[in-house]
Chain A
Amino acid sequence: MRVRLCVRPSEQFATVAVSASWSTPLTAELLAPYALIPFVIRRGSASCPDTAELRQQYEWRYGLRSSFELQKRGNVHSWQAQCNAVLPALTGDAEYTLEEAITFWWGNLLFPALEMGSEVRAFRTDYLSQEKQNIQRRIASQKNDAVSYAYDQTVKLTMRHDAHRFSIWGESEELEPWNGESLLNVFEDWKTHAVIDVYIQGSVDAETCKSWFAKFSVVELVDETATSQLHEWASVSAFLPEQVIEEWETGDGEQVKLNLAYHLPVSRSSDQFPIAMMLNGVLGGYAHSKLFQHVREKASLAYYASSRFDAMTERVMIQTGVAPEREEEARSVIFAQIESLQNGEITEDEWMQTKAMLSNALREREDDPSAWSEMVHANRLSGANWTLQSLMEALHRVTPEQVTNLAKSLILDVVYRYGPKHGGDEHAHD
């Protein structure tokens, strides 16, 4: 296992934040094991196989926080494990050290609880079957959050030519064939070959951090400038949609969730990235933006109406929730806003507010212990080289004409709705 360690010493925070990203190309075959592995790992470690006891061990270390997140970044599948430790100086306990706490967490990630008394090395069967059920239930409950379900379905449609279309959880039936042994094989293979990006921010220096990881013989520390295939894996395919895909999935509830996906061929490493950020800000990133002002404030159609630009997939996603009988009207208002942007109708106020808001959001990141690692990692995934400062400066140089020109390359790809149809069977429950 090669670890690219990136340390940012800072005296600002009361905790040390560690983030480790395991990244691999997204493939349908490995969705299920990659979803299962982190869930099984958190159930027990080699030194502490019992789940409750493991969690208690974290708490003994002054509430050491361990969490993980499965993510899709472009066509990269990533498992991000995070750890957050309180500085020993704030506990008054001389026996508690960062080194012990963080190596405990790292040991949990690398050496999970295995089946005892078995001839073959395997993950514990009981944990595996329980976590299978846990993930299957999550998959089955996706519609409980209609807003995010509708978003995911739109992503699936608009990313139809890329692996990004797959759900991060895989499909329920794909989880079944995996057993403790086959899952462990995937994990061991991963452990041997993966390049893991580890980011540490807090009151520590790089040499100290290196010494923590050097304790583990499986770890080979590589230079933080070492190249990786991340960018290559993450890139999405460039294609021009020829026909708009329209779908209306009937669902329970009071409201129809209306989602639109537009192509915007701008990656994070492109010079146009700051222009795309401004475009999204003027269109739907904020409360002063066109979508919020026109869909919500002027037409009173919805409670939320916003857009989001994802540079990893090169899409602008629009979301709102409206009464079924007003869906068409909402769509017209959204189209009119896109058109106004393409016609160069950007008011002085919209422009000034968007710039101010984006600068503020970037500056606020200085207070967030995880924001720095997110920025560096996003650069690595996209081959970009932005710093907070360079991005802020680039944003200030963007002109309304550049945004208008870029807006002309927005291409509508998907219109997706989830919810009751107007005049249909609207109330599956009451």
Chain B
Amino acid sequence: MRMTESAVERVMDDGLRVAVIPMPGFQKTYATLTTAFGSIDTHMPDGRKLPDGIAHFLEHQMFAMPEGDVFSMFSRKGASSNAFTSAEQTSYLFTCTDDWKYHLKTLLNFVQTPYFEPKNVDKERGIIAQEIRMIQDRPDWQAYQLMLQSRFEKHPWRIPISGTVQSIEDIDSDWLYACHAQNYHPRQLILVVCGDVEPEAVFELTAAHQADLPSRPYMERLIPRAADEYNTGKISFSANGINSVTPSKTLYHEWKLPLDKFRISFLDSPPSISPDVNMRRQMITNLALDWRFGSSAANIQPLYAKGLITDQFSPGWLNVPGAAMTVLGGDTPDPARVFEELYQLSIQPVADKEREEFERLRRKSVASWVRLRQSPEGLAQAYIRSLHRDQDVFKTGQLFQSIRMEEVEARFYELMNWEDAALTVVGKKQVSA
């Protein structure tokens, strides 16, 4: 067993970035071609506003080719293919255990071949409308969406990734061609291949494939993804009281559920300095939240014992270009009380004994990093996410060595900005918060 310590990268003549993560001994090869085009990208360079949900719609439509549907091209030789769209990216992927070269050519070919027949676009609209309805039936999705919409007035993170049944009505083949031309240029694509493959063989195959494509002009984005103007649209909540903080504004989405779904959110300053500093900051953030609010935190057990939270409670730090937030979320019979108790917990002074727990947190992180390198899918996605931020996920171990407990503690208090905490609830509306 050999642990992968780095990726081998190469940039093709047309600007396509290629990375190979060798995983010797694995049967499976996982490859993904990703574009930094997601639901937070809302305009064309000429200023035209895109219909909400178009990145996701485009992802669906890419699977139609003049010669037939793409799933079949992969499955004829046993590969599973799929795709997903997030706020900041669209990824196309396959896993196979045989003939990775055939599948890699198929992947490169279909993602770079726009083919949007109007009748197919209409048909896909029906499928996506059902997908939207299915997602809307999930209370957790509603809780996530309500939280984003309550915090961002302008930042497009508030837009549902799939759009709405209404917004996808405006999508036609012209829009799809325009979005493909803009966002699927080789300069905006990243190919990552993970598995027991020779990096040079991947580079050679990709270079040959790309050389056969007609060259296309590349247009820079009009609005940078981390535009300052988004930040003016943050919605602030001011808390009242000092010893007993209650959110001055609580937003509800009424739904009769056995337990309410709550999200307490704290806006954070988005990462904006250097890639290594950002990556280190993210690691410190995760440690801080796990330390005080993770499943092994002594703090949290009393809330569970009182029945105020369930074992689904978890803290998290989310970020997209231009925005970041900390979220404490779960299920509860009493959202206002959970808000109050979590506030009280977070202002409790830290005991010296708790500061000695850093070594435990370090060991847990070592294990997570080892496990990630056993998963071709997990490692490839972590790698892409870091590339989008000009970071290198393989620096995880090295950066960790430089983190100190004092930084973790300081970061925790920085994150817990209760003056601006918002409570959003999917569940029954309470008379007073």
Contact = CB atoms under 8 A, between A and B. Distances in A.
Nearest to A355: B78
A301 interface: yes
A91 interface: yes
Interface string A64-100: 1100000000000000000010110011000000000
A360 B78 contact: yes
Given A15-B374, A254-B136, A323-B130, A360 B98 contact: yes
B259 A141 contact: yes
B297 A137 contact: no
A369 B71 CA distance: 27
B137 interface: yes
B135 to A, nearest CB: 9
Contacts of B140: 144
Given A14-B1, A14-B3, 16 more contacts: A15-B371, A55-B295, A56-B360, A62-B364, A86-B370, A137-B331, A141-B331, A144-B140, A147-B134, A303-B131, A352-B76, A353-B76, A356-B78, A357-B75, A360-B80, A429-B256
Contacts of B311: 134
Contact of B134 (A303, A369, A430): A303
Interface residues of A, number: 69
Interface stretch (B23-31, B278-286, B335-343): B23-31
Interface string B103-127: 0000000000000000000011111
B256 A130 contact: no
A-B CB proximity, top 7 nearest: A63-B367, A356-B78, A55-B296, A300-B126, A360-B78, A254-B133, A140-B258
B76 A254 contact: no
Given A15-B370, A56-B360, A356 B28 contact: no
Contacts of A87: 1, 370
Interface of B: 1, 3, 25-28, 69, 71-72, 75-81, 95-98, 123-128, 130-131, 133-134, 136-140, 253-259, 295-298, 300-301, 304-305, 307, 310-311, 331, 357, 359-361, 363-368, 370-371, 373-374, 376
A335 interface: no
B26 A367 contact: yes
B130 A255 contact: yes
A59 B360 contact: yes
A301 B127 CA distance: 6
Nearest to B253: A429
A15 B371 CA distance: 8
Nearest to B131: A303
A382 B297 CA distance: 42
Interface in A244-276: 252-255
Interface in A33-59: 50-53, 55-56, 58-59
A205 interface: no
A53 B298 CA distance: 7
Contacts of A58: 296
Contact of A203 (B1, B96, B360): B1
Nearest to B367: A63
Interface of A: 11-15, 50-53, 55-56, 58-65, 84, 86-87, 90-91, 126, 130, 133-134, 137, 140-141, 144-147, 203, 252-255, 286-288, 296-297, 300-304, 321-323, 349, 352-353, 356-357, 359-361, 363-364, 366-367, 369, 428-430
Given A60-B360, A429-B254, A52 B298 contact: yes
A367 to B, nearest CB: 5
A199 to B, nearest CB: 18
Contacts of A13: 1, 374
A5 to B, nearest CB: 22
B121 to A, nearest CB: 11
Given A52-B301, A90-B3, A367 B27 contact: yes
Contact of A145 (B131, B138, B366): B138
A255 B365 CA distance: 41
Given A52-B297, A255-B130, A287-B75, A90 B370 contact: yes
Contacts of B79: 360
A11 B256 CA distance: 51
A62 B301 contact: no
Contact of B130 (A59, A91, A322): A322
